[in-house]
Chain A
Amino acid sequence: MARNKDKPDIPPGTPFQRVRPMLITFFIVALIGPWVFSSYWLNTFSTVACLVLASGTVALLYGQLGMVSLAQFALAGVGGWFCLRLVHGTGMPFELALVLGALIAGLFGLILGLPALRMRGLYLALLTLMIAAAVQVVVNVIGFPDGGPGWTGKVVNGQRMMIARPLIAPTDVDYFRYTMFWLALGMGLIEWARATLPGRAWGLIRKSEAAAIAAGVSVVRYKALAFAMAGALAGLAGGLLAGLNGQLDNTGFPVAQSILLYALTIVGGAYHWMGAVFAGLLIRALPALLNDHGVDGNLSNAFYGFALLVSLIQGRKGLAGQLADFYKFVRVSRIVEGSIIWGAISIGLAIAAVHYQAMGFAGALFLTLVALLFRQAIPGVCWLLLGFFGKRVQDAAEDAEAWLSLRLANLMSALGLMPDHRIVKRTLNVLFIGYFVGYVVNGVFDVDYIVALTIIWSSIAIRFLIQLLMHPAILPLRQKIDAKYPKPFAAYR
């Protein structure tokens, strides 16, 4: 019964297509990460990768089933404990202990999930919080295994032992890539499940359990699956943390950390894989960055309260959701055009940086690419902050910006240049990004502030100039490509 009321549909995304952007991102980070990070930052980012995986499990439970689990970091502790115990006790290879520890943590998660079959919301949150507290108490009493005798494997008086790094990843660089591999595997598993049969069943249950039952879905089975998966992957993250340092600290898995993990997963966004990445960076990388600049990293926790407030006001999708919504409207022609221009600019600037001995080739390349990324992220952040002050302020600011931009755009098109309807916003972005990214890279990459600022700003300025000048040549080409491939990311989530 066809009705031709509307335009034809957007193309569908296969499960692999949906997981692919994430895998590519992780692959690129694993590849060029060790190239640009110092060893302190490399270890920090290995930890971040573990936290991303743990945050991914929180997002799985909250985003897919609306269930609040405050025990995910405690489950990471459980996974880490068993991983250490198995390696110390049996001398088995690290990988095997890692997987077995994850499976045991998955079993714990499943047991934890049993009450969740009947509980929701606040009660489930309280229950999981109590379990996290129980894990903390038990760990305080028996400690993490460090090669000692007995069931707990704890050394009472004497030299604590560490487990060796896995054979294929003895150095920090290898272990970073090793962690990224497990992260890609774990997050890939979650994303694959979301895109296929379990994800659809979770969607039905999330919408209404009655409707799911009426459709013949076993609610118990799919809730249990989610809890087991989340527990196992959190345990995997714990095992990877244990492998990173060869041991685990008794104070390493407190209740507060589980709560922070949950709160920042909400801030990052529980409905998109990027949310977990944001959460991981916020938990570990931002405090480390502040410490690097001589500010106490714990201060960031105060900021997180504010960030959570903003996320709750601005809606449930978090930072990642806003970014994803933004990308949905990206067009193929802009991607092709952007990649070519940015590739040329970044390579050119990197060569220039090497020539003047300002900084390394890879570092400069990375900087310009970061500038590109932030160019997209900042509008979302500005919008988020503006929204905090209320709709009226945001509207007034946008009206003023639109008024000015429109006049500037008219002027540009009268001069025969490519008109830009968001020129004021973009200029503000560029100023803001320059300072922000410059500040960050100054800490992370040991680059002079001025050099970083020069590279970022010149890359953006050159891009702007190119865009201005190529107006007549590019416009028909753009239209041709857009007509052929309309909005390629619209089907992704």
Chain B
Amino acid sequence: MIEINDLCVQFGGVKPIDGLTVTLNRPIVGLIGPNGAGKTTLLNVLSGFVEPRRGWVKVNGEMITGVPAHQRAAFGLRRTFQTDQIAEDLTLLENVQAIADHAQFDSRDAEKKAVYGAIDFVGLSHRLNRKGDSLSTEERHLAEIAKALIGNPKLVMLDEPGAGMTETESEHLQKVIKGIPGYCKAQVFLIDHDVELIAACCNETMVLDFGKLLALGPTLEVLKKPEVQQAYLGNFDDLEVAA
């Protein structure tokens, strides 16, 4: 469960997030919004790269605002990045193992099981020893997800995992994302521009626009709201259409 209370982020005169108060408690939560809505900033606040000017965030009832970024992984907050962070000259196994190196496990076996399990879960066990630079875009995004599943996370934040994927690839990604809550008991926080992916995966969706909450609720209801559609597509009345 993510509780956000009166969150306010300011860079100079710009306020990417402006007084956001929301409680998200469904297993897979989607976040959409037009460019500049504050999606990635919210993710950066959650993972500790951006300090809020005001307000706080709690995850599963524990206060995380003020916890340094490098301690949040141990706390159970895992994230992926828009541009995948797979090191090119390490193998896929090493890339995932590198995350496990810095997580807590009961035993060596548990660590090994977690690493292989995560890779198998995202469907990449046939790529274990390929180097990062010989993986496709889809495989790199899936590997990013596998990295985020290491070490019993409480909250997995996915920043545009579906970017640049074809339709069949996106279908596999949907299955993976839907399986995460069952696989490691983590809540999933999914940001994407692909509304189809959001609709297929998320029980609940919130829409941001200019740092403010525009809508929150069951995904289909939210997507059907006229103000959401207008925020995404603009107002057709003002369009200057080319002759």
Contact = CB atoms under 8 A, between A and B. Distances in A.
Does chain A bind chain B?
Answer: yes
Contact of B101 (A2, A9, A200, A206): A200
Contacts of B101: 197, 200-201
A214 interface: yes
Interface stretch (A71-79, A183-191, A215-223, A419-427): A215-223
Contacts of B123: 1-3
- Among A13, A207, A216, A217, find the residue whose CB has the most chain B CB atoms closer than 10 A: A216
A469 interface: no
Contacts of A219: 70
B90 interface: yes
B172 A3 contact: yes
A90 interface: no
B137 interface: no
Nearest to B124: A3
Contacts of B78: 214-215
A201 B129 contact: no
Interface residues of B, number: 43
A215 B98 contact: yes
A204 B70 contact: no
Contact of B94 (A4, A203, A215): A203
Nearest to A219: B70
Contacts of B97: 200
Interface in A1-60: 1-13
A355 interface: no
A6 B81 contact: no
B122 interface: yes
A201 B79 contact: no
Contact of A204 (B72, B87, B91, B103): B87
Interface residues of A, number: 35
Contact of A1 (B49, B85, B122, B147): B122
Contacts of A5: 126
Given A1-B121, A207-B85, A208-B85, A215 B99 contact: yes
Contacts of B81: 208, 210-211, 214
Contacts of A216: 70-74, 99, 102-103
7 contacts: A1-B121, A199-B90, A204-B85, A207-B86, A207-B87, A217-B102, A218-B102
Given A1-B175, A11-B129, A210-B81, 19 more contacts: A1-B122, A1-B179, A2-B126, A3-B172, A7-B126, A9-B128, A10-B130, A12-B93, A13-B129, A203-B90, A203-B94, A204-B87, A208-B85, A214-B78, A215-B73, A215-B99, A216-B99, A490-B129, A493-B89
Interface of A: 1-13, 197, 199-201, 203-204, 206-208, 210-211, 213-219, 271, 490-491, 493
Closest 7 CB pairs of A and B: A216-B73, A200-B98, A211-B85, A203-B87, A1-B123, A203-B90, A216-B102
